[in-house]
Chains A and B, each alone.
Chain A
Amino acid sequence: MLLEVRDLYVEFRTRDGVAKAVNGVTYSVDAGETLAVLGESGSGKSVTAQAVMGILDTPPGRITGGEVLFRGRDLLKLKEDARRAVRGAEMAMIFQDALSSLNPVLTVGDQLGEMFVVHRGMSRKDARAKAVELMDRVRIPAARERVGQYPHQFSGGMRQRIMIAMAMALEPALIIADEPTTALDVTVQAQVMELLAELRRELGMGLILITHDLGVVADVADRIAVMYAGRIVETAPVHDIYKAPAHPYTQGLLDSIPRLDHKGRELYAIKGLPPNLTAIPPGCPFHPRCPRARDVCRIDVPPLYRVSEERRSACHFWEETVDASSA
């Protein structure tokens, strides 16, 4: 296993109390695999990724438990300089907002080359040549001419390509992409996702794709982990989950998105709001919004039940849910 996150807990101290952002998350990614982490805002999907990357702001954040095993080593036990060596070289991250992730006063060539200067001790000149090579690789037209330009001179899609190039620069084994196409238009989004998938295949990397978009997930993921209130509520191979979700939250999400291929009647709406992380409901955190909730759901936190070899669901009534959704 390339990366295994085991029982991770993260808290944030806020004005309103302690926000429990991540509450026992366990997932894993293998080399060459794409894991989609799906969730709405506040589900803890990005915080988990930040903890894995070691870029969580502490304080206010605090990792209160769990392990992050990368090639068998627990990253949480490493010293900061050892972690820094892992970051960039062995695992890299792509963010949603490419414009604010790039330094506006440095040329893209300098920023791409920096990776080689810092991690590989290359000369400026060689690094510049490498930068051009990378830009070619992510299919930025006229790379040789554009390597000396500044981030604002590129379009949104091109900037996201530069971010991808930067992440790929040292050929890391794992890439974490946090909503990489959310800020982009659909036609550009398709190009960028295509590029990401292709590079992943070429380099045999593991990819964690963090997103709220069920469409994007269906397009590229091998496996999905659905998060709610800092927990994983369902994990499954991508085909299974769309055919027959095993958790009412997943089912609700799938039913609440309007379809492209027909007009449809009134949308199904999951009632209520996502929980306040400083006061997560007892028992199953989804019970106040769940159509299947019974007494046991208000008391017992559901464990991740085994649905099949590769599927888990954190619902006391997963059998009922699968039956209902595959019927």
Chain B
Amino acid sequence: MPEPDPYENPKEAVAPTGAGGAMDLAMSEAETLERGGTGRPRSLWSDAWHQLRRNPVFLVSALLIVFLVLIAIWPQILTGADPLRCDLSKSQQGSAPGHPFGYDTQGCDVYTRTVHGARASITVGVCATLGAALLGSLLGGLAGFFGGWWDALLSRIADVFFGIPVVLGGLVFLSVVTSSTVWPVVGFIVLLGWPQIARIARGSVITAKQHDYVQAARALGAGSGRMLLRHVGPNAVAPVIVVATIALGTYIALEATLSFLGVGLRPPTVSWGIDISNAAPQIRNAPHMLLWPAGALSVTVLAFIMLGDAVRDALDPKLR
């Protein structure tokens, strides 16, 4: 059915010229905006969700992440084998029936190790990112919103953490705090990662709070909580999401670096980081050892970055 001509629609009829004023707009609104439903009240979050459900990028990345999380929790879904059962005689051999990815230097099955490695890597990546993002945006956001001495103090503390060299700091910290779990590594990454997020959050909160709509809310009598949550927060969150999703990849890689140096995760823990660092020297004679864990890592990082992108776009009504 063709669109009704807005100029001849009696409901939108316009007062004769010269009358000026309010009703005159009705017509051209119909011209610039397509007719929209009225229906139930909508909010930013419900609109964002509505948008996300139709976004193929979001669907693909979300499915991938769900899948990765599932195998991180239950690696048994994909393999019944024990990643620690190795056979030195098969060291660095290529794929064989039942062992599609081949064997590593120790003669362990690369497929089984890649599947089991998801748990440590994703735990470190997700937990460290969540920790750093929450801590960083909380501290940075408050510093930006309230300013003053709180801001000055926090910025100096963040500067101090920025100054710590990652590798040296890791060597010192992780040789003191030892444990067979992933938590010391997560803790260390959060400790080093939050200032970066805090800086971004602080900057975007300062930008957002200068807008007139924050003043308008204050003039209405809104409290600090409301201004932060409804006005400043949603408008400052986009850069944080972008940086956090990119950071997720670097954190998984950082875990690998620390493991390579012998202070990160330690065997018998299985992680992509450990496997990548073991495989790196052998890249010429056994590239398959590197290919699979590195490929899994890349896909995981990509999935999170795509998810971050989609969420950021969905939260911006202008891009709809």
Contacts and interface: CB of A to CB of B under 8 A. Distances in A.
Interface in A266-280: 266-269, 271-273, 275-276, 279
Interface in A141-189: none
Nearest to A298: B7
A29 to B, nearest CB: 34
Among B17, B21, B25, residue most surrounded by chain A Cβ atoms (within 10 Å): B17
Contacts of A268: 18, 20
Among B14, B15, B20, residue most surrounded by chain A Cβ atoms (within 10 Å): B20
A303 interface: no
Given A271-B14, A272-B28, A276-B31, A288 B21 contact: no
Among A271, A273, A275, A291, residue most surrounded by chain B Cβ atoms (within 10 Å): A271
Interface on chain A toward B: helix, strand, loop, or mixed SS? loop
Interface string B21-38: 100110111011000000
Contacts of B20: 266-269, 271
Interface in A28-80: none
Among A267, A268, A272, A291, residue most surrounded by chain B Cβ atoms (within 10 Å): A272
Contact of B27 (A266, A271, A275): A271
Contact of B17 (A266, A271, A275, A276): A271
Contacts, number: 39
Contacts of B27: 271-272, 288
Contacts of A266: 20-21
A272 B18 contact: no
A250 B85 CA distance: 87
Interface string B260-301: 000000000000000000000000000000000000000000
A273 B28 contact: yes
Contacts of B7: 288
B17 A272 contact: no
Interface string A10-35: 00000000000000000000000000
A276 B6 CA distance: 15
A279 to B, nearest CB: 8
Interface residues of B, number: 15
A136 B20 CA distance: 49
B10 to A, nearest CB: 16
B31 A271 contact: no
Contacts of B17: 271, 291
A170 to B, nearest CB: 40
A279 B21 CA distance: 25
B31 A269 contact: no
Contacts of A273: 25, 28-29, 31-32
A266 B32 CA distance: 27
A60 B15 CA distance: 39
Contacts of A275: 31
B24 A271 contact: yes
Given A271-B17, A291-B17, A291-B18, A276 B32 contact: yes
Interface in A206-260: none
A287 to B, nearest CB: 9
A155 B25 CA distance: 40
Contacts of A291: 16-18
B28 A269 contact: no
Contacts of A289: 28
A288 B29 CA distance: 12
A272 B21 CA distance: 10
A291 B27 CA distance: 14
A189 B68 CA distance: 65
A269 B24 contact: yes
11 contacts: A266-B20, A268-B18, A269-B24, A271-B24, A272-B14, A272-B28, A272-B31, A279-B31, A288-B31, A289-B28, A291-B18
Given A271-B17, A271-B24, A291-B16, 11 more contacts: A266-B20, A266-B21, A268-B20, A271-B28, A272-B25, A273-B29, A273-B31, A288-B7, A288-B27, A288-B31, A291-B17
Interface of B: 7, 14-18, 20-21, 24-25, 27-29, 31-32
Which are the 5 A-B pairs with shortest beta-carbon distances? A269-B20, A291-B17, A271-B24, A272-B28, A273-B28
